[in-house]
Copies of this chain bind each other. A is one copy, B any other.
Amino acid sequence: MTVAQPPKRARTRARIAAQALDLFDRQGYEETTVAQIASAAGVTEMTVFRHFPTKERLVLDDPYDPVIAAAISAQPRALAPLARTARGLRRAWQDLPEPDGEQVRRRVRVVARSQSLRASAWRNNADTEQIIAEQLRGDGVGALPARVAASAALAALMTALYEWAEHDDIPLSDVVLAALTTLDSGDA
């Protein structure tokens, strides 16, 4: 067993993540202790940290960056930076698979309800923001407008997600679309 990760590690990791999400959703993020999560998953605190570098990471993850950058780059350069970013994000969103409902919603809701987690989510977005900004700059936008457009667009997106998570009846795509339209009223 020298190379690819065996199933055991993955199973433990999944167990921990599941128990964590469960506890977070039921009692709140701050109110849940890593020790609780560990014992719920039949594991030691130490093991939790070996699978997830921080408590936040039990909830926050993000693999979307490349898709987003590409979609933004594909937008016409004639557009204003913000419009280009908004349309790029809209496009990227369409290309992404609609996530499987309830699971994601619970996750987002946990984040939405913890001030500290929302803050951390922002830190998580810093990477994405930088990638967007760099993409814009490479396409001829100045440094400040690039960063501004990127951060504003991401803020809008996050806000949309949080709003969605708290209202069971709205489809995700509608909310995201509406948010991005608030940034850039033009049609795609």
Contacts and interface: CB of A to CB of B under 8 A. Distances in A.
Nearest to A80: B185
Contacts of A21: none
Stoichiometry, as copies per complex, reads: 2
A151 interface: yes
Contact of A119 (B120, B144, B152, B154): B120
B144 A163 contact: yes
A111 interface: no
Interface of A: 80-82, 115-116, 118-120, 122-123, 126, 143-145, 147-156, 158-160, 163, 175, 178-179, 182-183, 185
Contacts of A126: 115, 118
**9 closest cross-chain pairs (CB), A and B:** A155-B155, A119-B119, A152-B152, A119-B123, A151-B155, A151-B159, A148-B182, A145-B182, A152-B156
